[in-house]
Structure 1
Amino acid sequence: MAYKASSIIRGMIEGVTNGFIKELNIVGVGYKAAVAGKNLNLALGFSHPVNLPIPTGITVETPKPTIIIIKGIDKEQVGQFAALIRSYKMPEPYLGKGILYKDEKIIRKAGKAAGK
């Protein structure tokens, strides 16, 4: 139990001094992201845009329409918001389209024609 508490405290200290950053890449034709005030607007090929309110304590930047950078001092909150964004369009294994973490590699599957 003491190891968990010390790990959490160490993470808090690191968050205040350095901060935590998660970077997401959007792959797919017509998939884009934009920050508008306190909302993150995602166009992910649905019939409607996805509007997510940005939690307090987190800053979101979109230097390009296909890159989302999430910054904050709370490691858990940054990771949870990144996972929420990613859950709207998980990367699919055939074409690799979707929202991926920066260093994530998608294992691609062969299509129907590969079996012949």
Structure 2
Amino acid sequence: MSRIAKQPVVVPKGVEVRVEGQHVAVKGPKGALELEVHESVEVRLEEGAVRVAPRNGAWALAGTMRSLINNMVLGVSQGFEKKLELVGVGYRAQAQGRKLNLSLGFSHPVE
């Protein structure tokens, strides 16, 4: 039995969640995302929170779907950031627009 699936996903202010059958759409200040939920999982929108419940005892799948919906809500409200740390001698990184050029000791740069 999944403890994660039992917890509701709290929807913050500025984020809109729509549930239409097995389709979940999340829209916020940083973008919009959509997810097609597995048929073994039931999704309900209740008073500013999204609840996930399994059908036929599919608790693991319900926990996975709850985590995906939670990540969608976080992504459209706060966004995601990943920090890269280069450790070693001779490694260089340069940002050129939306590309990251890495000099890692090969005969050519890696984009």
Q: TM-score, normalised by structure 1?
A: 0.52
Structure of greater Rg? 2
**By how many angstroms is 1:56 displaced?**
1.3
Unaligned runs of 5+ in 2: 79-111
Which of 77, 84, 106 is equivalent to 2:61? Answer: 77
Q: How does 1:50-69 map to 2 (within 5 A)?
A: 50-64=33-47, 66-69=48-51
The structure-2 alpha-carbon separation of the partners of 1:67 and 1:89, relative to structure 1 and needing over 3 Å to count, comes to closer
**4+ residue stretches of structure 1 with deviation over 4 A?**
none
Match of 1:34 in 2: 18
Match of 2:10 in 1: 25
Q: CA RMSD in A?
A: 2.4
Q: Percent identity?
A: 11
Unaligned runs of 5+ in 1: 1-10, 92-96, 99-116
Verify: 1:86 aligned to 2:70, yes or no.
Answer: yes
Match of 2:95 in 1: none
Q: Give the secondary-structure state (helix, strand or coil) at the position aligned to 2:74.
A: coil
1-structure distance, mates of 2:52, 2:7: 5
Higher relative contact order (CA 8 A, sep 6+): 1
Say which structure is richer in helix: 1
